[in-house]
Amino acid sequence: LNDNEWCVTAELNVNFLYPAFLGETIFGYGRLIKKGATLAFVEGGVENKEKREIAKASGIWVMKSRTNNLINKKKIKTKALS
């Protein structure tokens, strides 16, 4: 995300494939699949030292601009006062 952006989760799917055990070292990874003007498609997962995939996930995030959000709030306040 850029400094003036924030996001909210629209969809998140997680598949738990194998257990992770107490004391086991695990590694997480993520990858951006596609980023459009308002949506980002991502996938990721968790694996152990032996590269066994413990969990995998995919999701869609809605991206919003902080600047536009502030402008919209000011417009609402202006309308409410007039």
pLDDT in tens, 15-28: 999 999 999 999 99
**Residue labelled with tokens 């152990």:** 48
Q: From the DSSP assignment, how many helices (H) and strands (E) are in the chain? A: 1, 4
Question: 9 or 65: which carries more pLDDT confidence?
Answer: 9
Instruction: Say yes or no to pLDDT of 8 above 60.
Output: yes
Closest by CA to 5, choosing from 45, 74, 65, is 65
What pLDDT was estimated at residue 20?
Answer: 95
Burial of 43 (0-12, 13-18, 19+ CB in 10 A): middle
What pLDDT was estimated at residue 1?
Answer: 74
What are the tokens at 18? 């194998």
Model confidence at 2, pLDDT cuts 50, 70, 90, reads confident
pLDDT in tens, 53-78: 999 999 999 998 876 555 555 555 55
pTM over 0.75: no
